[in-house]
Chains A and B, each alone.
Chain A
Amino acid sequence: MFSYCADPDTLGTFRWFTCYLTNGVHWSFYLSFIKVLALLAVTAPVALGFGFAGAMAARSHVPPLSWLGKAYIAIVRGVPDIAFFLFFVIALDQGFEWIRHKVLCPEWTDPIRQGNDFLVCQAAKLPLGSSPEWMHETYGFFLAVITFSIVFGAFAANVLFGGMRAVPHAQLETAEAYGMSRRQIFWRVLVPQMWVYALPGLSNLWMVLIKATPLLFLLGIEDIVYWARELGGTKTSKFTQYPHGDWRMWYFLFLLIFYLGMTRVSEIGLEKLMRRLSHGQATSGGELLRKETTA
């Protein structure tokens, strides 16, 4: 990147590192950090939405809907999350292709599962075989986001369901006494109050979500783990401009520090949020705040 990088004398000096760390592949590495942040930024609200829908379904008075919601909450617990990640990526992909196959190629009569193969017609392939490289990458990322959202949605549903149940029942009864309908009680009384109760669980979930992002690597995304392995591996002068030994340890140390930093920043941010939300609430956190200010 810098002009002095063309000068062979830089080799062996400290300035060599500035050349090394700004070469083309390293920019891909830095870009993959943005991928991780993008995943967090998209997944968090979507998972919260899934969770809200799940919790609402679980509270429903229609039995099948409530079973569905409870099953969604229960099923993701008790089984390792990584198994779900590996499962959903293939299952979603096949599900989408199957639906497109049914719609686009109705004349196709062969079975889709033939032995160890999953065969759909050319037009139903996702993404189309003729589409450019970035489409494939975007589709992979899209699948990853849905997978993360489904799994973390179930966790969030669990937390929100608990939060909804923690709202004092007297509040709901009062609302009923005022003649509010069930819908009004839910949106005007229950939902605004449940966040304080749900926040500790949700902030815990956010921490877990941050720590789950390296699993993107298992979903076939070229994320930070992928690049750290690629870039850190032994390079010989034959193949690249910047030969070096096995540096993967240092790359992963860097990732470790990156994640520690993320955790620390989140901790501070969430603590501030909790303080603000507990202000004036009739919870022990709010009581503590009151004592602090009066003492």
Chain B
Amino acid sequence: MSCLQTIQDYGLRSVGLGERLLPKSDFTLCEQFTLIGSGMIWNVYFGIMALATGFFLATALALGKASPNKWLRKPSEWFIFLFRGSPLFIQFFFAYFFFLSLKKSYPMFDAFTSAWLGALIVLFLNTAAYTGEIFYGALRSIPKGDIEAADAYGMSGWSRFRRVIWPTMLRLAWPAYTNEAIFLFHATTLVFFSAFPAWQQRGDALYYASYFADKTFNPFVPYPILAFYFILLTLVIVWGFGQFNKRLNKHLPATKQIKMKFRLNLAR
């Protein structure tokens, strides 16, 4: 079987298109590359969706945590502590069983027990908490002069936020936010290893990598392939966020611009 044929059969296997049966023996390198790459669709889906939705909640949380009003501050603080203080792995488990018991009493929660929605909600809340903390830190380090200048121009409320506070907050938080985005993509590999079932063996990249490692009892091929894909993904994220970083810093003289220094450290 040619490699092109394999790509046609398995290229979209993780979303349920193409060949139904996974290869069972005599795995070729091409099959491993194709299937693990196909699994990356899920990682990218979870990552992008969680980032896009989490961003707004994170902004709200950061504002809430910085608010002088106790009724806004306390819930935000607790939310951030809850999701940053506990392992994502346990959050997945808890959420899955929580949705499962909800489903028993209300059938409309059926979709929540599948990974595409249930895991996405957990990732959304989780990244919102981490990003919220980053944004909160940035919010507190906005130069006092910027806000005073906005006041002097007679700006207040929404226009001050929209034109001064929010852009500056983003600019200061951007390098850390890039790191968070990278980690979020890494964290998506946990989804199918926690309780969420990979229905009809439609899993993410790590799911297929460990499938091959289990079948061949040889970890030295599938995991490096996975690593290759993730390093590629990381480079793409770094590039994309770097472009936006340039845009955020466009108005500043070159010496004052925040350079993206990447310290891709740690997990969550």
Contact = CB atoms under 8 A, between A and B. Distances in A.
A77 interface: yes
Interface string A205-234: 100101111110110000001001100100
Given A90-B217, A225-B90, A256-B94, A77 B81 contact: no
A162 B101 CA distance: 47
A208 B87 CA distance: 9
Interface residues of A, number: 48
Nearest to A251: B97
Interface in A46-82: 77-82
A207 to B, nearest CB: 8
B85 A116 contact: no
B266 A87 contact: no
B143 to A, nearest CB: 17
Contacts of B231: 78-79
Which size bracket describes the interface of B in this complex?
35 or more
Contacts of B81: 260, 263
Nearest to B223: A87
A83 B212 CA distance: 13
B223 to A, nearest CB: 4
A263 B85 contact: yes
Nearest to A88: B219
B86 A79 contact: no
Contacts of A232: 97
A79 B227 contact: yes
B87 A86 contact: no
Q: Pick the most buried of B82, B186, B209: most chain A CB atoms within 10 A of its CB.
A: B186
Contacts of A116: 25, 215-218
A86 B267 contact: no
A263 B89 contact: no
A256 B94 CA distance: 8
A-side interface mostly? helix
A158 interface: yes
Contacts of B155: none
Interface string B232-268: 0010000000000000000000000000000111111
Nearest to A80: B186
A77 B264 CA distance: 6
Given A158-B265, A264-B85, A86 B90 contact: no
A238 interface: no
A256 B189 CA distance: 20
Nearest to B234: A78
A91 interface: yes
Nearest to A253: B94
B164 interface: no
B189 A83 contact: yes
Contacts of B189: 80, 82-83
Given A118-B217, A211-B268, A252 B90 contact: yes
B166 interface: no
A117 interface: yes
In order of increasing CB-CB distance, the 8 nearest A-B pairs are: A263-B85, A80-B186, A249-B97, A252-B94, A77-B264, A211-B87, A87-B223, A81-B267
8 contacts: A79-B227, A81-B186, A204-B266, A208-B267, A215-B89, A249-B97, A256-B94, A260-B85
